[in-house]
Chain A
Amino acid sequence: MSRKPYVRPVSKTGWWLKHPRYMRYMSREVTCVFIGAFALLLVCTLERLAKGPEAYASFIAAIQGPMSVMGMLLVLIFALHNATSWFNVTPKALPVQIGEEFLAGKYIIGAHYAVWAIASLVVLFFAGVI
């Protein structure tokens, strides 16, 4: 009897549509596009700032239109999704063992949220918002 194993084809582009868990994964991965775009915007802002106060002021005025604000809101939503989805899996990557027990994941996740909140407050403080 001869062997003739059959290899099932795999879709290189449509595999992630096959299961909700793959779509969830892709929703996390796609956030990098929006965060990358915002990082580019920050680089452009710095470049304008280096050119002087007038160049900076005109650039800031140019990105305050409704479309820009909508775009930034979209980036914020994706950034929140990125941060929360990564925070929620940190106990897997960074387990904390105390004696014979492991620290419950909620404390590790909670610590990340706490650091996030403190970092946000510090940024808002230096930005003069609070």
Chain B
Amino acid sequence: MTQLKKRMVQLEVLRYDPEKDTEPRFQKYEVECNEEWVVLDALNAVKESLDPTLAYRWSCHMAVCGSCGMMVNGEPKLSCHAFLRDYEGVIRVEPLANFPIERDLVTVADDFIDKLKRVKPYLIPKEKKTIAEGEYKQTPAQLMKYRQFSMCINCMLCYAACPEYALQPKFIGPAAIALAHRYNLDSRDGGRDERQEVIATDVGVWECSFVGACSEVCPKAVDPAGALQQVKVASTLDWFKERLLPGGSK
């Protein structure tokens, strides 16, 4: 059997203990890792062999659950998807930027969860059907219209990359608006008006100045920046329709 190549990896991890620390501090670790490992494996090795107090979130280890988002050398990454072979020297690991730190690498996600609820990211059927009336049907073309935006795993990397969110925390933000757009584009959905009240506002899409960082860091190629620009175009068309078409004004 082939022997896996090993190397010593140096990590510089931001630590914060709310019961002892007034502010976060970096702590260095050196741990033996397999060359094929990811940053999350290195953290697990630290926790198992060097420091059981290190706190961080993770679950699936396969870029699906969206729990292990961290800043790796200043870049928002899923730590289960950040391969050690891509990094040289000391690897700096910090909690996701733009979120308060709960402890060590664990952030407070309450703000994102609240925003997610506000955009109603679920199907609001255009017409209610009983089970006896059958399923809501959709063609493959109708599915393709929103499919890309349905790939979001709520990992919050886009929020960590977004300077608008950093400067204006009221901003609903990339993932929540992209998910609202996903349901707005769904042929079975009739909830667009309700979502527009949240996303077509000055804390919604009009806070976005199209930096595009959200799409660059998205690990699932959702392209939230694209979703936000499409919402802007659709909202602008709404504005003109309301004023120019007969019976269009509210």
Contacts and interface: CB of A to CB of B under 8 A. Distances in A.
Interface of A: 1-8, 10, 12, 15-16, 18-19, 21-22, 25, 29, 89, 91-95, 97, 99-102
Interface residues of B, number: 34
Given A21-B216, A94-B233, 20 more contacts: A5-B18, A5-B108, A6-B21, A6-B23, A7-B101, A8-B100, A8-B101, A10-B166, A15-B166, A16-B163, A22-B211, A91-B226, A92-B212, A92-B215, A93-B229, A93-B230, A95-B226, A99-B141, A100-B140, A102-B144
Contacts of B16: 6
B102 A3 contact: yes
A7 B100 contact: yes
Contacts of B210: 89
A21 B225 CA distance: 14
Contacts of B24: 6, 8
A4 B211 contact: no
B144 A97 contact: yes
Contacts of B19: 1-2, 4
A89 B226 CA distance: 9
Task: Tell me which of A1, A5, A102 has the highest count of chain B C-beta atoms within 10 A of its own C-beta.
Answer: A5
A43 B100 CA distance: 49
A6 B98 CA distance: 11
Nearest to B217: A21
B248 interface: no
Interface of B: 16, 18-19, 21, 23-24, 74, 97-98, 100-102, 108, 140-141, 144-145, 163, 166-167, 209-213, 215-216, 223, 225-226, 229-230, 232-233
Contacts of B23: 6
Determine chain A's interface SS by DSSP, over half rule.
loop
Contact of A92 (B140, B145, B167, B223): B223
Contacts of A4: 18-19
Which 8 A-B pairs rank lowest in CB-CB distance, beginning with the nearest?
A93-B229, A92-B226, A5-B100, A4-B18, A6-B101, A25-B211, A10-B166, A7-B100
Nearest to A4: B18
Contacts of B141: 97, 99-100
Given A15-B163, A19-B74, A92 B225 contact: yes
B100 A100 contact: no
A99 B145 CA distance: 10
Contact of B102 (A5, A18, A94, A97): A5
B212 A25 contact: yes
Nearest to B231: A93
13 contacts: A1-B19, A4-B19, A6-B21, A6-B100, A10-B167, A21-B216, A25-B163, A25-B212, A89-B229, A93-B229, A94-B233, A100-B141, A102-B144
Nearest to B95: A8
A19 B18 CA distance: 29
A123 to B, nearest CB: 27
Contacts of B233: 93-94
Nearest to B101: A6
Nearest to B213: A21
Nearest to A101: B144
A14 to B, nearest CB: 11
Contacts of B97: 8
Contacts of A15: 163, 166-167
A19 B214 CA distance: 13
